[in-house]
Amino acid sequence: MTAVVAPKGLVTGDDVPGDLEVECDVVVVGSGAGGATTAAELADGGLDVVVVEEGGYHPTASFAMDVPRALRTLYRDAGVQTAFGRPPVAFSEGRCVGGSTVVNGGMSFRTPDRVLQRWAREGVRAITPEVMAPYFERVERRLSVGPQDPESIGRDSELFRAGAERQGWRLIPNTRNQLHCCGCNACLWGCPTGAKRSMLVTNVPRALHRGARLYADCRVERITRDGERATGVVGRFRRRDRAPGPTLRVRASVVVAAGGAVQSPALLRRSGFRSASGRLGRNLTLHPNARVIGIFDEPVRGWHGVHQAYQVREFIDEGILLAAANLPPALVTLGLPHHGAELAELMADYDRMVIAGCLVEDTTTGRVRTVPGLGPVVSYQLDGAGARRALRGITLTAQTLLAAGARRVLLPLRGAPEVRSPHELDAVLAGPVAMSDLDLFTVHLMGTTRMGDDARQAVVSSFGEFHGATGLYVADAGLFPGPVGINPMETIVALAIRNAEELLEKWRRHGR
Amino acid sequence: MISVRKPDHALSRRQRRTLRAFAGVVCPPDPPLDTVWTDVLADVERFLAATAPGTRALLLMSFTVLDERARLTPEGRGRRFADLDRFRAEACYRRLARGSRRTRTLLILMKGVLTLHYYALPQVEEALGYHPAAYVRATASRRTERYGEQIRLGERLALGDGPGTGP
């Protein structure tokens, strides 16, 4: 294996010979959308910043279309995580330098005005569309957010678009954080060209460029404290062979937890922080997703073209988004009931498949608990309204595929037969569908450290500072008071810039 | 005597036999080469080592239960799943897949672990007409030729070195 040369300021687990103690102004736990952005903004503002990342450093040159390797190296727990409930909801989080932005689809949308207005009504200060607009502009400029070049859009997306247009449904071209993405459909395994402007190639190098230090392969075990004041973190490095390595102690005036909506509340809890609101780890929303596969007569070659090019926004007011998003063969097989020869027969049509799906806005909330020996345990019980919404999303996705000309459609409903026409679809859905037969997954986890000025309702302030503690902040999707209803990355980055600005202002006023 | 340290989380011989038998049922019956099973099992072993301890324990226990559960089925007649011929193993799998919702869910999860790694093998992908590496090379090279200057500008912008990078 070729040794990876890390950029200046980035230290990996294999580089550290023994226990390490460092001091800085701010330590940021996590290097994803929230963590890397916070680190870059604070380093830009002249603070001495240390970032601690549990995952490894994997540069663009190391990315290949090797799904199992990517699952093992870029995802937490090999991409196999579950929110327990009936039905369970499978979920994945990135765990590498750059966090989930390295393995997401790269969709970048502003938070809808109606969501910002709702959050303002729910007690978040300075969150109106007018206040947020300049932050979105900064995100979009720095991450090169824009529409795809036409030559990068694949046949699967065009078929899906045609199906939606035949129904007269409103559809938008996706805006993505990409710099002339060539549409090689490798977003979920690490962009091999660097066209996707993940944190790995934007705010992480930006932070390092401004003098920040980043320790990779180091899991933060706890935040240290002096009474209610956060004073730093203690972590342990992991060697490449997974053996536990030396410890890292960081002393800092400010600690920023940015490990995502599952890991951050778990870290805060195991460090002894409690919220008077009783909501630390609660209020979890996750945008349940369901996947529908359409098989066409014509060759589609869904892997020739960007991962996702359009979204059907016709049903956004109902809390439903639809899109086509190709997956490699290995992942298509997951969740399918077929096996053996039947599976082989189905997969022989891989090049004729359009893989599409729906994302639905939550109607209920779940919870992250910490269980000794197991770590964070996520539970989420879909309610009746959520199940109806998911089923409607599945129906609309299937209708789009059939309108586009699919001759067979596979539904994410356990035990449901394939459908070949709108009539057959109606027949399948006419009968009762058990909630537990829905096959759901997600990659959007939000809300477990919700922001707001009222300490009785919210875990952190409107700018991410933990209520009841000093020098402790959160900077990830856990901040969201409720589901954002669209892909959340741009919201996380914009909030991180806004909150970092406030933190810097406070630092200048009070000397820390 | 030279002792070779067993890697952490290595599968036991029995677990390997069960997984191999299970793979023979859930994966397509005519793999491109017989040696694929060695590759699949090696990849599954690495994958399981990367999962959370609870997930790994659940999956491995499920395979063990499946192996033993087969003894109680008419197809197994007292024999473990790993000891059944392919025909009987297939029938046994089908019987178990008709069981409770929980059993079906678990079987789909177990099956997914095997088929994920089977369908990620380069020779299997190739047989499906899926060969992304060449496509990535071609499109990446086209991207650089067509947009090289704009790409360099965008990269500088992200680092805060280009024009228009102020707050």
Q: What domains does chain A contain, in order, with CATH numbers?
A: 10-75+95-144+195-284+446-510 (3.50.50.60), 150-178+287-361+383-437 (3.30.410)
Task: Work out the pLDDT band at A354, boundaries 50, 70, 90.
Answer: very high
| Number of neighbouring beta carbons within 10 Å of residue B17 | 16
Task: Work out the pLDDT band at B8, boundaries 50, 70, 90.
Answer: low
Q: Does the pLDDT of residue B99 top 60, yes or no?
A: yes
Instruction: Give the pair of three-digit tokens for residue A72.
Output: 């093992």
**∠ CA B124-B127-B133, rounded to 5°:** 75
Residue B130 and residue A303: Cβ atoms within 8 Å? yes
At B100 the pLDDT is: 86
Distance to chain B for A276, nearest Cα, Å: 31
Query: What is the helix (H) or strand (E) element at residue A113, kind and residue range?
Result: helix A113-121
Chains A, B: CB contacts within 8 A come to 176
B118 closest CA partner among B55, B47, B36: B36
Is A180 considered catalytic here? no
> What's the rounded Cα separation, in Å, for the pair A297 and A406?
7
Cα B35 from chain centroid (whole Å): 15
| Number of neighbouring beta carbons within 10 Å of residue A478 | 33
Average the pLDDT over each of A26-35, A178-187, B28-37, B149-158 and give the range with the smallest value: B28-37
Nearest CA in chain A to B42: A68
Q: Does the pLDDT of residue B161 top 70, yes or no?
A: no
Residue B51 and residue A202: Cβ atoms within 8 Å? no
Residue pair A205/B156 in contact by the 8 Å Cβ criterion: no
Query: What is the helix (H) or strand (E) element at residue A236, kind and residue range?
Result: strand A229-238
Residue pair A286/A445 in contact by the 8 Å Cβ criterion: yes
> In B, which residues are within 8 Å of A209 by CB distance?
159-161
Task: Work out the pLDDT band at A3, boundaries 50, 70, 90.
Answer: low
At A241 the pLDDT is: 77
At B1 the pLDDT is: 43
- The half-sphere exposure of A404 on its side-chain side, counting CA atoms within 13 A, is 34
Interface test with B, best of A58, A139, A177, A184 (most B CBs within 10 A): A184
Residue A195 and residue B143: Cβ atoms within 8 Å? yes
At B49 the pLDDT is: 94
For chain A, the farthest-separated pair of C-alpha atoms sits apart, in whole angstroms, at: 69
> In A, which residues are within 8 Å of B105 by CB distance?
88, 414
Residue B50 and residue A72: Cβ atoms within 8 Å? yes
Beta bridge partners of A97: none
**Mean pLDDT, to the nearest integer, of A311-326?**
97
Q: Does residue A87 have a cis peptide bond before it, meaning omega lies within 30 degrees of 0?
A: yes
Q: Does the pLDDT of residue A306 top 90, yes or no?
A: yes
CB burial class (10 A; 0-12, 13-18, 19+) of residue A386? buried
**Mean pLDDT, to the nearest integer, of A304-323?**
97
Residue B120 and residue A340: Cβ atoms within 8 Å? no
Pick the catalytic residue from A58, A444, A467, A510.
Answer: A444
Beta bridge partners of A94: A75
| Strand A49-52 relative to strand A408-410, pairing | unpaired
Q: Does the pLDDT of residue A198 top 90, yes or no?
A: yes
Q: Does the pLDDT of residue B156 top 70, yes or no?
A: yes
Instruction: Give the pair of three-digit tokens for residue A81.
Output: 């995580």
| Strand A218-226 relative to strand A367-371, pairing | unpaired
Residue A334 and residue B93: Cβ atoms within 8 Å? no
At A512 the pLDDT is: 61
Residue B143 and residue A414: Cβ atoms within 8 Å? no
> In B, which residues are within 8 Å of A180 by CB distance?
143, 146-147, 150-151, 154
pLDDT tens digits for A452-494? Answer: 999 999 999 999 999 999 999 999 999 999 999 999 999 999 9
**Mean pLDDT, to the nearest integer, of A258-274?**
97
At A196 the pLDDT is: 98
Average the pLDDT over each of A170-174, A218-222, B95-99 and give the range with the smallest value: B95-99
> In A, which residues are within 8 Å of B161 by CB distance?
209
At B148 the pLDDT is: 95
The DSSP symbol for A174 reads P
Nearest CA in chain B to A183: B139
Residue pair A425/A398 in contact by the 8 Å Cβ criterion: yes
SS3 content of chain A, % helix, strand, coil (to 5): 35, 25, 40
Interface test with B, best of A58, A65, A153, A433 (most B CBs within 10 A): A65
Give ipTM to 2 decimals: 0.93
Q: Does the pLDDT of residue B112 top 80, yes or no?
A: yes
Q: Does the pLDDT of residue A2 top 60, yes or no?
A: no
Distance to chain A for B1, nearest Cα, Å: 24
Which of A88, A182, A436 is the closest to B140 by Cβ?
Answer: A182
Q: Does the pLDDT of residue B5 top 60, yes or no?
A: no
Residue B29 and residue A209: Cβ atoms within 8 Å? no
Residue pair A255/A25 in contact by the 8 Å Cβ criterion: no
**Mean pLDDT, to the nearest integer, of A436-445?**
96
pLDDT tens digits for A204-257? Answer: 999 999 999 999 999 999 999 999 999 999 999 998 777 889 999 999 999 999
Which of B53, B115, B125 is the closest to A333 by Cβ?
Answer: B115
Residue A304 and residue B135: Cβ atoms within 8 Å? yes
| Strand A49-52 relative to strand A213-215, pairing | parallel
Q: How high does pLDDT run on average in chain A?
A: 96
A396 closest CA partner among A170, A147, A174, A107: A170
> In B, which residues are within 8 Å of A330 by CB distance?
115-120
**Mean pLDDT, to the nearest integer, of B57-76?**
94
Q: Does the pLDDT of residue B4 top 50, yes or no?
A: no
Task: Work out the pLDDT band at B33, boundaries 50, 70, 90.
Answer: confident
At A508 the pLDDT is: 93
Interface test with A, best of B87, B139, B156 (most A CBs within 10 A): B139
Residue A68 and residue B46: Cβ atoms within 8 Å? yes
Residue pair B76/B92 in contact by the 8 Å Cβ criterion: yes
SS3 content of chain B, % helix, strand, coil (to 5): 70, 0, 30
| Number of neighbouring beta carbons within 10 Å of residue A504 | 17
Interface test with B, best of A41, A58, A60, A80 (most B CBs within 10 A): A80
At B3 the pLDDT is: 43
Nearest CA in chain B to A299: B129
> What's the rounded Cα separation, in Å, for the pair A386 and A363?
5
pLDDT tens digits for A64-111? Answer: 989 999 999 999 999 999 999 999 999 999 999 999 999 999 999 999
The DSSP symbol for A292 reads E
pLDDT tens digits for A355-390? Answer: 999 999 999 999 999 988 888 999 999 999 999 999
Q: Does the pLDDT of residue B2 top 60, yes or no?
A: no
